[in-house]
Amino acid sequence: MRVMISGGGTGGHIYPALALIERMQQRDLLDAVLYVGTKRGLESKIVPDQGIDFKTLEIQGFKRSMNMKGIKTNIKTIQLFLRSVKEAKEMIKTFKPDIVIGTGGYVSGALLYAASRLKVPTLIHEQNSAAGVTNRFLARFVDKVAISFESVSDQFPMHKIVLTGNPRAQQVAGMLPNERLSEFGLKTDSPTVLVFGGSRGAPSINQAFIDAVPALNTREYQVLFVSGRVHFDDVQAQLKTMTLNDNLAVVPYINDMPEILPDLKAIVGRAGATSLAEITALGIPSILIPSPYVTNDHQTKNAESLVKEDAAILIPEAQLTGDKLVQSLDTLLATPDSQQAMAKAAKKMGIPDASDRIIEVINTII
């Protein structure tokens, strides 16, 4: 099978695409794969490092502001889109894919639209509980829409929807504890919580952790705190005047973070689609602090999907304090029965064979 795939801008679009490619390779289904992204997006660094052929289109998003600057930007956006569609058609004619897949981001809009005009089979994947702008646009043109949350189904044509889950889940579903916590100076036999604010970190979560340190020093559970590289120096400066007991570890970033997930009792973090796919695949209780700075507030909607099933606790960022963080952790970790119930509910929401389900959908449309 020859596959063209595109997902750009954020890890939430890129990692599901890579997970699907990996699974297709494992099943020996790929004759060739070409990933289409942008030069400036995160995908331009991540995808080539995976040994995957990579080409780029120049494209940008629309500005909501309708002042003169915004209007000029949007005119350029339309021009870039039309040019990218033309370039994408040439890529498709040259590569001759059996299917073209989009996982979100503006660049996938140009590629998938071009493929639909050329009558090449198409599939898009929506990771979130609120559909992205690009996928909403593409839904009318593509053959199938794979979704991760049932709650997003009313935002797409019903006859095109297939509930598959997020391919990222299949990458982590079979992981087992591997005692990597010792790398951070933590015990491997003590209940441990991971606190992090996404790949770049989140100032609000960082500050809540710093404020909570005096109380966390006295707890029997451990906390592995990830500040994000860009915030690490600032966090370290604030922690210089404080005592950190050996049940706390502070790091800027963790490579291969999914590997440590099976060793955790709980996670505190954002509610991005990739994180939730991992959490539900492994059945990990979570305290979710959705980012209020994302399109359509989709992280809150993602989190609410878990809260509705008693699979997570939600703390709005505006209500987050050090005291609130400690109180929530104490409540979760001090009651094993509720912790186990939350873990069970989270795992019930997971779809561990997501990539295989998407492959089944692909086979119905090519």
Q: What is the helix (H) or strand (E) element at residue 84, kind and residue range? A: helix 68-95
**Architecture of domain 2-166+352-365 in CATH?**
3-Layer(aba) Sandwich (3.40)
Q: What is the pLDDT of residues 151-208, one digit of tens each?
A: 999 999 999 999 999 999 998 988 988 889 999 999 999 999 999 997 778 999 999 9
Q: In CATH terms, are 2-166+352-365 and 180-349 the same topology?
A: yes
Residues of each annotated binding site: 10-12, 128, 199, 254, 299
Q: Within a 10 A sphere around the Cβ of 295, how many other Cβ atoms?
A: 13
pLDDT of res. 272: 93
pLDDT of res. 46: 92
Threshold 0.75, pTM exceeds: yes
pLDDT of res. 66: 58
Q: What is the pLDDT of residues 20-30, one digit of tens each?
A: 999 999 999 99
- The dihedrals phi and psi of 268, each to the nearest 5 degrees, come to -115, 125
**Architecture of domain 180-349 in CATH?**
3-Layer(aba) Sandwich (3.40)
pLDDT of res. 257: 86
Answer whether 332's CB lies under 8 Å from 313's CB.
Answer: yes
Q: Are strands 313-314 and 161-163 parallel, antiparallel or unpaired?
A: unpaired
Show the 3-state SS of 195-237.
Answer: EECCCCCCHHHHHHHHHHHHHHCCCCCEEEEECCHHHHHHHHH
**342/336 Cα distance (integer angstroms):** 10
Please state, for a pLDDT cut of 90, what percent of the chain lies above it. Answer: 81
pLDDT of res. 49: 93
pLDDT of res. 80: 82
Residues of each annotated binding site for UDP-N-acetyl-alpha-D-glucosamine: 10-12, 128, 199, 254, 299
pLDDT of res. 65: 59
Domain ranges of the chain: 2-166+352-365, 180-349
Q: Which residues of the chain have pLDDT under 50?
A: none
pLDDT of res. 187: 96
**344/349 Cα distance (integer angstroms):** 9
pLDDT of res. 363: 97
